Copies of this chain bind each other. A is one copy, B any other.
Amino acid sequence: MWQYEKRLEYPVQVTCPDVKFAKLVITQYGGPDGELSASLRYLNQRYSMPTKEAKAILTDIGTEEMAHMEMIAALVYKLTEGADPKDFEAAGWGGQWAQHDSGLFWTDANGVPWTAKYIACLGDPITDLTEDMAAEQKARATYEHLIAATEDPLAKATLRFLWQREVVHFQRFGETLNAVQEHLCGKHMWMGQEMK
């Protein structure tokens, strides 16, 4: 179970509201490679990991990604602060306003709602950890796209922090994959030599 702690993992700042950019940022909230995908992927996969360490790392990172969802939510709120229907309309995000007003929703940048079809769990630890490394790469690339799409130095700083965390997660999943492969050695070969 979880305990909520009322603070963000890292302060979220923007120089000034920018609804157009908020429309892009939302993909890291509810898009295919966003923080919800990450969190739900890891918190779900941990059950079929073969070692305590692998379970722990998936729980830790899955929990941290929830904190990232909060940061993205905060970023979207700061980017839309004070915006009225006309501002949403002008930013090409009228659909958000018509359907959610000032509420958030789990969609990508086109308004497509989040689905578990974005993520995977094969129950095979080698596979699932490789999937997780790919997931971190996808999140990293999306943050790079977003950083390139804004001039706001404070928004960039927030996104860079999240980008950096994905890089660290990628490395930790790589180490975990190595450790799990060693742990499984002989029991489950996947390089073509044999198969049950």
Contact = CB atoms under 8 A, between A and B. Distances in A.
A70 B31 contact: no
A112 interface: yes
B108 A60 contact: no
Number of copies: 6
A99 B109 contact: yes
Contacts of A99: 27, 31-33, 108-110, 122, 142, 145
A92 B121 CA distance: 20
Nearest to A114: B116
A103 B2 contact: no
Contacts of A180: none
A92 B115 CA distance: 24
Nearest to A25: B98
Contacts of A100: 121-123
A147 B72 CA distance: 29
Contacts of A66: 1-2
Interface string A99-129: 1111111111111111111111111101110
A77 B3 CA distance: 24
Nearest to A49: B103
Contacts of A30: 116
Nearest to A28: B98
B95 A122 contact: no
Contacts of A113: 112, 115-117
Interface string A3-36: 1110111000000000010011001001111001
A85 B116 contact: no
Contacts of A36: 40
